[in-house]
Amino acid sequence: MPAKTKTNTKKTPAAQIMPQEEISTREMILRRSLELINAKGMVDFRIDTLATSLGLSPGNITYHFSRKEDICAALWEQYLEEYGQVVRSLTTLLDIKQLYLLNRINIHLNYKYRGVVVFRSADLGAIKRDQQAGRVNEDEHFAMARRAMQLLKQNGYIDKNATEEIIEGTHIYHYIMTRWSINFAYQAYTPEEVEAKLDYLALMSLHALYPTLSQKGRDEFAEVLAKVSAGNLLGEKR
């Protein structure tokens, strides 16, 4: 194993085109962990099971990650890294349709990392340890939702009569929906249905803004709604 790849903590495009043997042990651990956590959840996820399924010794894994929570934190970092792309596509051109597309990327990412994403801030002990370790939990998400709100306001998509308070409340609502609509999906639909519902979930996040939208905003929302509920977002007949 080349020493370089071991210290390579972030997933880079280069890592993806590398042949299988070149993937660092750390990367291998993270990939398999995500599969296991997606299937069984964080609480039932065991380092022993992970080691067996990779044909490694548990010691080899604890060399990279001393506790399973560290694996969870590393996957969360990876998720945030990918999520950063969403944040960077927020521009002054933002309109309702663009925000829908950003929410859609976000929900697909949430789905990919579902085991980790649904669990963040689900265990009181883990939350406390995160806070003690000074790990910021969700700030990047939160900042994005707020910025989206400001840009929409600048561009005339927010109702002129909405008070600062209502706008702030709407922003929190939107954030909570982008963050937890995936959890909602696993309660409202069968696990098999969830993947087909991702477009709807992106709409649900967007809908959090509905009460505060201007007429122009509501018209665009109606357009998105019509396309999503026709199940024809990709322009192909299903």
Query: Where along the sequence are the contacts to another protein (CB under 8 A)?
Result: 37-44, 46-47, 62, 66-68, 114-115, 118-128, 137-138, 165-166, 169-170, 172-173, 175-177, 179-181, 183-184, 186-191, 203-204, 207-208, 210-211, 225, 229
Task: Provide the minimum distance between the beta carbon of 54 and another protein in the complex, in angstroms, as a whole number.
Answer: 17
Rounded to 5 degrees, what are φ and ψ at 16?
Answer: -75, -35
AA letter at 150: Q
Task: Provide the minimum distance between the beta carbon of 93 and another protein in the complex, in angstroms, as a whole number.
Answer: 26
Alpha carbon distance 50, 56 (integer Å): 8
Instruction: Confirm if 198 and 111 have CB atoms less than 8 A apart.
Output: yes
For residue 74, which of 45, 113, 109 has the smallest C-alpha distance? 113
State the angle between helix axes of 164-188 and 198-207 in degrees (0 to 180), rounded to the nearest 10: 160
- Kindly tell me which of 26 and 68 has the beta carbon lying closer to another protein: 68
- Kindly tell me which of 5 and 111 has the beta carbon lying closer to another protein: 111
Residue 165: CA count within 13 A, CB half-sphere: 0
Contacts of 2 (CB under 8 A, 6+ apart): 22
- Kindly tell me which of 37 and 148 has the beta carbon lying closer to another protein: 37
Residue 195: CA count within 13 A, CB half-sphere: 3
- Kindly tell me which of 83 and 115 has the beta carbon lying closer to another protein: 115
Six-digit token pair at 13?
């495009």
Alpha carbon distance 38, 16 (integer Å): 21
Task: Provide the minimum distance between the beta carbon of 15 and another protein in the complex, in angstroms, as a whole number.
Answer: 25
Task: Provide the minimum distance between the beta carbon of 90 and another protein in the complex, in angstroms, as a whole number.
Answer: 21
Task: Provide the minimum distance between the beta carbon of 126 and another protein in the complex, in angstroms, as a whole number.
Answer: 6
Instruction: Confirm if 127 and 137 have CB atoms less than 8 A apart.
Output: yes
- Kindly tell me which of 2 and 59 has the beta carbon lying closer to another protein: 59
- Kindly tell me which of 22 and 223 has the beta carbon lying closer to another protein: 223
Task: Provide the minimum distance between the beta carbon of 87 and another protein in the complex, in angstroms, as a whole number.
Answer: 18
What is the number of other CB atoms lying within 10 angstroms of the CB of residue 179? 20
- Kindly tell me which of 15 and 126 has the beta carbon lying closer to another protein: 126
Task: Provide the minimum distance between the beta carbon of 22 and another protein in the complex, in angstroms, as a whole number.
Answer: 29
